[in-house]
Amino acid sequence: MSDTPHLVIIGNGVAGNRAAEILRERDKDCRISIISAGALLFYNRYELPDVFRGRQEWPDYLQHPPEYFADNKISLRRKSVVADVDTDRRKLILAHREEVGFDQLLVATGGAGYLPERLQETRGLMHNFSTFKAAMAVSEDLPAKGHVVMLGGDMIGLDLARTLIDTGYRVSLVPGDRTFWPHEIKLEDQPQYLAALQTMGIEIVSHGEVERIEDTSNGKAARKVVFVSGEELEADVVIPFYGLVPMVDFMSTAGVDIERGLLVNPQLQTTRDEVFAAGDVCQIWAPESKEYRFYYGWRNVRKMGEVAACNMMGDDMTFSSDVDESLVITADGGIASPFWEYKA
């Protein structure tokens, strides 16, 4: 490592920015670069349902003022896609073929929304809710008191659903085996939690597996959900929420161990000493269960950024979660999840 190390973070989310904050606190002189595929400054994606509560300007979501990065000497490279990582040469290869050297690397790219293979052909007829731009597109395409059909219903989606209900929209959920993800709910227990969602105002549609999505022009709704059973359901907007898939393809030749995500030890270090990972992109070795596992939610992700940064500075800190992953039925018959806690 050089006298002035270059610490590079891939990913401009909660984990990456928390890591950059800690790194700068610990070392006032090191070079810190954040490589981001997106165009915007750091904002908290967990707060995006608030577009339906009137927060429709992207600066309202910023976690730091625009001058923060310059003031803290953090180089933020936006619209920069990492295509490959050469760990032997300690170089990132960007999609436009530029190379960026690093002394230590933190991969914090998060996850992309999973979509079952059977729905891939009609992906273009569905909305997503993973970015500010995508959230605004849903807001613009959804008429007042409009109808949203939600497929799958992971906890990110259900967080959106409760906001939609609160702000006057109709939400129908087509449940499946990834409903309530990342909570692990036994099949025999699922009915009571679905009943709790109904108490919250969410309509449960039990038509079975979705076969396809169709565009409609009948003047009623913009989309039609067609089920394998032959039944149909009209909607203004269809949004799939089937959980996340770690964004790790660009690491395939980096010489680190990958299962579903990047495999890391409890110090968040990969099989390469100079490469760490944090957030939804990594599976952490859990000694108590002797397996690699994911830890989700804002609180876990933020803490991973802290642990990774401290260990990049030479500490030997171990990640442990203090999040109770229980899905709770509340006194009023609804549900509460720790994955809906995204405030400092």
Query: Is position 336 within any domain?
Result: no
Which residues neighbour 204 within 8 Å (Cβ) at sequence distance 6 or greater? 172, 173, 175, 194, 197, 198
Assess whether 79 and 135 both reside in one domain: no
Tell me the pLDDT tens digit for each residue of 199-255.
999 999 999 999 999 998 766 669 999 999 999 999 999 999 999 999 999 999 999
Q: Is 70 exceeded by the pLDDT of residue 275?
A: yes
Residues of the domain holding 125 = 115-241
Query: Is position 317 within any domain?
Result: no
Q: How confident is the model at residue 343 (pLDDT cuts 50, 70, 90)?
A: low
Q: At what angle do helices 298-312 and 14-26 cross, to 10 degrees?
A: 30
- The DSSP code sequence of 253-278 is TSS--BSSSEEE-TT-B-SSTTEEE-
Assess whether 90 and 148 both reside in one domain: no
Based on the number of CB atoms within 10 Å of its own CB, is 293 exposed (0-12), middle (13-18) or buried (19 or more)? exposed
Quick one: DSSP state of residue 179?
Answer: T
Query: Is position 212 within any domain?
Result: yes
- Of 218, 241, 264, which residue sits at a domain end? 241
Angstrom distance (rounded) from CA 258 to CA 73: 32
**Rg (alpha carbons) of the chain, rounded to whole number:** 21
| Cis bond before residue 182 (omega within 30° of 0) | yes
* Contact between 111 and 282 (Cβ < 8 Å): no
Per-residue pLDDT at 220: 63
Tell me the pLDDT tens digit for each residue of 140-172.
999 999 999 999 999 999 999 999 999 999 999
Q: Is 90 exceeded by the pLDDT of residue 187?
A: no
- Of 225, 241, 257, which residue sits at a domain end? 241
Q: How confident is the model at residue 344 (pLDDT cuts 50, 70, 90)?
A: very low
Query: Is position 273 within any domain?
Result: yes
Q: How confident is the model at residue 3 (pLDDT cuts 50, 70, 90)?
A: confident
Tell me the pLDDT tens digit for each residue of 71-108.
999 999 999 999 999 999 999 999 999 999 999 999 99
Tell me the pLDDT tens digit for each residue of 107-128.
999 999 999 999 999 999 999 9
Assess whether 202 and 296 both reside in one domain: no
Per-residue pLDDT at 127: 96
Query: Is position 327 within any domain?
Result: no
Q: Which residue has the tokens 């087509």?
A: 174
Per-residue pLDDT at 219: 61
Give CA separation, 3 vs 27, 116, 175, in Å: 12, 48, 55
Between 341 and 172, residue with greater pLDDT: 172
3-state secondary structure of 164: helix
Angstrom distance (rounded) from CA 271 to CA 286: 16
Per-residue pLDDT at 108: 98
Q: Considering the chain, what percentage of its residues have pLDDT values greater than 70? A: 97
Assess whether 160 and 56 both reside in one domain: no
Assess whether 142 and 216 both reside in one domain: yes
Query: Is position 231 within any domain?
Result: yes
* Domain count across the chain: 2
Assess whether 142 and 205 both reside in one domain: yes
Indicate the pairing of strand 244-246 with strand 111-113: antiparallel
For residue 293, the cross-strand partners are 284
- Of 208, 241, 274, which residue sits at a domain end? 241
Per-residue pLDDT at 1: 44
Angstrom distance (rounded) from CA 92 to CA 226: 44
Per-residue pLDDT at 341: 82
Assess whether 98 and 159 both reside in one domain: no
CATH number at residue 187: 3.50.50.60
3-state secondary structure of 224: strand
Query: Is position 323 within any domain?
Result: no
Assess whether 120 and 267 both reside in one domain: no
Can you read off the two tokens belonging to residue 137? 């597109």
Query: Given its phi and psi angles, is residue 128 left (phi above 0), alpha (psi -120 to 50 degrees) or beta?
Result: beta
Query: Is position 322 within any domain?
Result: no
Assess whether 198 and 133 both reside in one domain: yes
Q: Which residue has the tokens 């969602």?
A: 197
Assess whether 254 and 228 both reside in one domain: no
Assess whether 215 and 259 both reside in one domain: no
Assess whether 119 and 231 both reside in one domain: yes
